[in-house]
Amino acid sequence: MSNPSNSLKISTFVCTWCDLTVSAFAADGTRRNHCPSCLHSRHVLDQVEGGPTDCLGRMSPIAIAVLRTGDWMVVHRCVRCDELTSNPVCKDDNQLILMRMAVRPLAQTPFPLEAFGTL
Amino acid sequence: MPRRNRSDGRDGTRRPQRHKGVPGDRGVPRTGDFRCVQCRLDVPVTAPGTAHRNHCPNCLASLHVDRRVPGDRASDCRGRMEALSVSVRPDGEWLIVHQCLTCGELSANRIAGDDNALVLVRLALRPLRDGSVPGRILLAL
Ligand SMILES: [Zn+2]
Ligand SMILES: [Zn+2]
Ligand SMILES: [Zn+2]
Ligand SMILES: [Zn+2]
């Protein structure tokens, strides 16, 4: 999340990573927390204390998590202070980037997968 | 399960190794062994390939004891932390993302040499197996 535009009622932010200008709300009206193109975000909320934070560091996507509903969440980590957040994916988030994040652990296992038969 | 040896090419940008209940540290009992809050396994704090154990090698569950900094042990929550997902560092090392079932707080922790590999792989498969998104993505392409 980045600077909300103060000149327009239509609120937008500029992605801290890829510089894309993004509308702050997705088509279905949900508020975006991350860039739909590169999935990077900005550290604006303090997860430990609650409320806003002064950090404003860039938050990079580090993992995909699954809710009990089956919906995906993106786990972000602040590159400045290491705080973690998780946020729902939006319908128009870049699906290939999401998929690449989801399969990354399996592409880089710390042990040989050959040892497993069927799971 | 043998681990693939990785060259230890840490990028140096991460915070230094956490200190969590290392026997010999000031204020920490020499025995840091614990019983898992989830599967009740008695876990010895030292094992080959595990420098600073903070989760159960059998079910990967942990306890919410740290507040902001890993190892600070400054949280009063004491909730059970469940393994939520797997993240891969740029150097290829796996991290388990834990979430506290009591307060929702997240933390990321390095895997240990004796963590149950099958449980780890199942955790890594979860988005692909249980998620509603993969089918949608494949249909859309
Ligand atoms: Zn972006
Ligand atoms: Zn931050
Ligand atoms: Zn356990
Ligand atoms: Zn907690």
Q: Is pLDDT above 50 for A39?
A: yes
| Nearest by Cα to B131 from A92, A61, A62, A99 | A99
* Domain residue spans of chain B: 34-140
Q: How far apart are CA B42 and CA A61, in angstroms?
A: 34
Chain A residues touching residue B118 (CB < 8 angstroms): 116, 119
**What would the two tokens of residue B87 be?**
């993240």
The more confidently predicted of residues A31 and B21 is A31
Q: What is the pLDDT of residue A1?
A: 47
Q: Quick one: DSSP state of residue B80?
A: E
Write out the E strands in B3-123.
34-35, 42-43, 62-63, 80-88, 94-100, 106-110
Q: Is B74 on the interface with A (CB under 8 A)?
A: no
Please give the distance, rounded to the nearest whole angstrom, from the Cα atom of residue B85 to the centre of ligand 2: 21
pTM: predicted TM-score of the whole model, two decimal places: 0.81
Mean pLDDT score across all residues of chain A: 88
DSSP string covering A35-86:
-TTT--EE--B-TTT-SB-S---EEEEEEEEE-TTS-EEEEEEETTT--EEE
* Domain residue spans of chain A: 4-106
Q: What is the ipTM of this complex?
A: 0.86
Q: What is the pLDDT of residues A46-97, one digit of tens each?
A: 887 888 999 999 999 999 999 888 889 999 999 999 999 999 999 899 999 9
Q: How far apart are CA A78 and CA A111, in angstroms?
A: 28
Q: Is B90 on the interface with A (CB under 8 A)?
A: no
Mean pLDDT of A30-37: 93
Helix then strand then coil, % of chain A, to nearest 5? 15, 30, 60
Q: What is the pLDDT of residue B108?
A: 94
Number of Cβ atoms within 10 Å of the Cβ of B93: 17
Q: Is B43 on the interface with A (CB under 8 A)?
A: no
Q: What is the pLDDT of residue A106?
A: 94
Q: How far apart are CA B101 and CA B86, in angstroms?
A: 17
CA distances from B53 to B56, B60, B124 (A): 8, 11, 20
CA dihedral of B43, B48, B51, B54, whole degrees rounded to 10 = -20
Chain A residues touching residue B99 (CB < 8 angstroms): 65, 86
| pLDDT averages per 10-residue partition of chain B, 141 residues | 46 45 45 86 80 89 87 88 96 96 94 94 91 74 68
Q: What is the pLDDT of residue B61?
A: 97
